[in-house]
Chain A
């Protein structure tokens, strides 16, 4: 159990970081975005929810004493001594396009999937997507499952996906793994969510069973 008093003391500590080439000194409790603002630098691009759900704030991070460069969400990354941070430019959108309405029945989903995402079956299992995902999603496994037609299972892996497109940028086969994940989720809803309580109510409404009094 963390004692909050100690925590607040630690958080006031100042650390030195480099963000987009600017040397900044700021309290360790700030995120990379907050640190930029704190130091008086403007930043509006790549800022959204500030809560880790919109996927706008993609950053490259290198920590002191470690040559590895990681991709993370800037609003979720607290600054550390010696950290180097670079905001990434806008991702290029995927070239894949589809409409759920054009899939005539659930029997067709697999065939259509391979037409829409022909690259998915060429995954070379390089793991680039997994390494880039700030949410720790097993993206590669998701692509594999979707390519096998196991869409429900594939979609389940992407529950926390914020569509930051980092895996899309990382993929050498241009698979757009996050869109594969989202496709898997969407077809599952589109073809298989048929709640009887909702349908019963819709029928009732259609028959005029429910009215409200509008005075």
Chain B
């Protein structure tokens, strides 16, 4: 990568006098077209099979959406069958909220999750959660900000419901035992997200997700919900009329398949960061491999905005082993500037994330980035500047940032951090209605796996809001379905159709999905699982 060598850039950083905003910045559309990874040439293809046939989709994701299944009927011979009312797939915030509400509504609930309960993107969230509660703010402004930031591609109905529900989501979280940062009078503190018109993000330090997950996990553990951890779902099942009716899980503890038959299924498997689209590093947890999209698509669920992903502007660029680690937007909300290798500002830091990321990529592409080695460049995040403005703020409000600095061997109060965009969030996903129901009957989808709220760009704090708001709603609705008649026959019959279609379209049959684990983990080679398909007898 070209750019200004590190030590030279450091001198420029220290000697720069003024930190004025650049006079003219490119218009957002123009900037995105030229520099945002979503618009990179060759990164999009048309889907050839399935409900979104003909739609544009990211190349790597398309490969998995049109992949062969990992199992067939023969694998399931003799497998244990377990029966329940509601099956929740995924143990992040959305899954927990859904499971808790379904249980509270009287349903028997099994929650199957790939790793441990709580291993998720939720636990990693830092910045906070949106709810319009301040005097100068209204749900209408929240709605307008969300739609505008999403380039008017969000679903107005879904967003309206979510913004009206937001204050109650915060109340519910407090009742689950989640703390928030309060001012001296006990009011909720708020901060502003990039691209919004009011201070609307409530938070707990920069540990919002950890605090949320701790409380929800404890609620779930102390309920009647039956939690199955280390139980990734490898396929969904349906009944005689195409109604989703359960799932096949692969138990990682004893390497066996188990069939869970359920009256309704709630899919809450989160995002895709570990697919490393366009070769970008990611901020996501180890299990964020887009499984839910693949599972639902095969069963016939409509997806949307498969060409739109969020690259968070401030991923750590260096040191290498921490590349991609997120630095919360809260740092920019607190007033931190972004500076290029010349020590100059180049963008309004509180523009939307896609805009800021594209601006960073522009600086690096045009040689004004800070260069570390052939493969690594970035720009400065001026944390010492924030500390100067408000002494003590880093330690008090952003302890996770200070901890990250320690791991890099630098003190962010004295030295700026080097940042570069990191693959952060899947903007689109499975099409849902106001109850979180997908286009497949009996299949609810909530959280990051669903689409429609964020349009083509998400603002900080709306994801945590979405997972609880829609998670709760879907939990209640899924529990209602238990009154209907049971299924006659529950199978993975949809796979024969899938295989036929893949063959007709000439797709390679050697790609297996869902991905389940990143390649680096060498899962397929694990002696414990013997290549996963051959179970131990």
Contacts and interface: CB of A to CB of B under 8 A. Distances in A.
Interface of A: 1-5, 7-8, 11, 29-31, 34, 37, 40-45, 47-54, 56, 76, 78, 93, 97-100, 155, 159-163, 179, 182, 185-190, 193-198, 200-202, 205, 210-215
B167 A2 contact: no
Given A189-B179, A190-B174, A193-B174, A2 B522 contact: no
B410 A2 contact: yes
B143 A212 contact: yes
A42 to B, nearest CB: 4
Given A193-B179, A202-B167, A212-B140, A44 B252 contact: yes
B522 A41 contact: yes
B132 A201 contact: yes
Contacts of A47: 115, 286, 521
Contacts of B455: none
A178 B250 CA distance: 31
Contact of A34 (B187, B321, B415): B321
Give the bracket for the number of chain B residues in contact with chain A.
Answer: 35 or more
Contacts of A8: 318-320, 372-373
B70 interface: no
Contact of A190 (B116, B124, B175): B175
Interface stretch (B210-218, B235-243, B301-309, B353-361): B210-218
A76 B520 CA distance: 18
14 contacts: A2-B415, A4-B418, A7-B319, A48-B119, A53-B123, A78-B321, A100-B175, A159-B399, A195-B182, A195-B188, A197-B188, A201-B132, A202-B167, A212-B140
Given A44-B526, A189-B174, A213-B140, A37 B133 contact: no
Contacts of B223: 99
Interface in B272-329: 285-287, 318-321, 325
Contacts of B132: 201
B192 interface: no
B45 interface: no
Given A4-B6, A193-B186, A212 B217 contact: no
A212 B139 contact: yes
Contact of B123 (A4, A49, A179): A49
Interface string B391-425: 00000000100010001011100110010000000
B262 to A, nearest CB: 24
B170 interface: yes
Interface of B: 6-7, 115-116, 118-120, 123-124, 131-135, 138-140, 143, 156-157, 160, 163-164, 167-168, 170-171, 174-180, 182, 185-188, 205, 207, 209-210, 214-215, 217-218, 221-223, 230, 252, 285-287, 318-321, 325, 372-373, 399, 403, 407, 409-411, 414-415, 418, 517, 520-523, 525-528
Nearest to A101: B175
Nearest to A192: B186
Contacts of A2: 409-410, 415
A211 B120 CA distance: 34
A49 B527 CA distance: 24
A48 B286 contact: yes
Contacts of B6: 4-5
A5 to B, nearest CB: 6
B407 A37 contact: no
A187 B215 CA distance: 11
Contact of A49 (B124, B174, B221, B403): B124
B531 to A, nearest CB: 11
Which of A3, A54, A161, A202: most chain B Cβ within 10 A? A54
Given A4-B372, A195-B186, 18 more contacts: A3-B7, A4-B319, A8-B319, A40-B522, A48-B116, A48-B287, A49-B119, A51-B325, A163-B214, A186-B177, A189-B180, A190-B175, A195-B182, A197-B133, A212-B139, A212-B164, A214-B160, A215-B156
A49 B180 CA distance: 22
Given A161-B214, A162-B210, A44 B517 contact: yes
Contacts of B134: 197
A185 B177 contact: yes
A214 B214 CA distance: 36
Contacts of A29: 319-321
Contacts of B177: 100, 182, 185-187, 189-190
Contacts of B520: 37
A97 B116 CA distance: 19
A160 B205 CA distance: 10
A23 to B, nearest CB: 17
Nearest to A98: B222
A39 to B, nearest CB: 10
A43 to B, nearest CB: 6
Nearest to A202: B167
A202 B205 CA distance: 24
Given A42-B526, A212-B139, A198 B170 contact: yes
B164 A205 contact: yes
A54 B188 contact: no
A202 B171 contact: yes
A201 B118 contact: no
B160 A196 contact: no
Contacts of B415: 1-2
B300 to A, nearest CB: 29
Nearest to B157: A214
A34 B119 CA distance: 18
B187 A197 contact: yes
Contacts of B119: 48-49, 54, 56
B252 A45 contact: yes
